[in-house]
């Protein structure tokens, strides 16, 4: 008996097991199509229809441990661009744009309760300034150039202002 012939009976025994496993997985997924969604998971999860008014605590929780996905991270990215004379790879700029776009999308999908509505509005405006500048800079970076100096300056100023917004008082 050759090695190939020895494998055939084992494969025949495993075929029914594989078929049952596939059926169970398909049933668990509710028969969902395997086609990927065109929208990134981060923005698809933040649908306005499912989100109601968000509390200050919701916003703080959304930022994650160490504020890794909040204004602090946007400021770090803007500071990096500024500290490096506008030198930014296209990959990094796209990552930075995704971060700020996702934060804006979360804010849009989660209107603020009254106690932090002003903060919400100001934060969103600062982040839009950063996003618009980085979007404007993308073609130059795509061609191998630098982020323009005016975009570096306005992005840094807006990112710092967003991060330095004082927390609302007495807001749960």
pLDDT of residue 42: 42
Separation of alpha carbons 68 and 107, rounded Å: 16
Separation of alpha carbons 131 and 74, rounded Å: 10
Separation of alpha carbons 101 and 124, rounded Å: 10
pLDDT of residue 37: 31
Distances (CA, A) of 27 to 15, 18, 30, 33, 94: 18, 14, 5, 12, 37
9 pLDDT higher than 60: no
The residue ranges of every structural domain in the chain are: 1-35, 46-163
Q: Is 116 exposed, middle or buried (0-12, 13-18, 19+ CB in 10 A)?
A: buried
pLDDT of 37-69, one tens digit each? 333 334 333 434 446 789 999 999 888 765 567
Separation of alpha carbons 57 and 134, rounded Å: 29
Query: 165 versus 22: which is more confidently predicted?
Result: 165
pLDDT of 105-149, one tens digit each? 999 999 999 999 999 999 999 999 999 999 999 999 999 999 999
Separation of alpha carbons 123 and 104, rounded Å: 9
């Amino acid at each position: 008996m050759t090695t190939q012939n020895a494998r055939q009976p084992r494969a025949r025994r495993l075929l029914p097991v594989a078929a049952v496993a596939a059926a169970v997985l398909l049933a668990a997924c509710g028969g969902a199509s395997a086609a990927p969604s065109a929208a990134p998971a981060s923005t698809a999860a933040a649908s306005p229809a499912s989100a109601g008014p968000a509390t200050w605590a919701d916003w703080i929780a959304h930022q994650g441990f160490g504020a890794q996905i909040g204004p602090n991270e946007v400021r770090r990215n803007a500071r990096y661009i500024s500290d490096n004379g506008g030198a930014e790879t296209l990959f990094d700029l796209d990552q930075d744009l995704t971060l700020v776009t996702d934060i804006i999308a979360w804010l849009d999908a989660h209107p603020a309760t009254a106690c932090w509505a002003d903060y919400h509005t100001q934060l969103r405006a600062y982040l839009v300034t950063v996003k618009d500048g980085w979007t404007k800079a993308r073609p130059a970076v795509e061609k191998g150039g630098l982020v323009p100096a005016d975009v570096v300056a306005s992005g840094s100023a807006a990112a710092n202002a967003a991060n330095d917004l004082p927390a609302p008082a007495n807001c749960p």
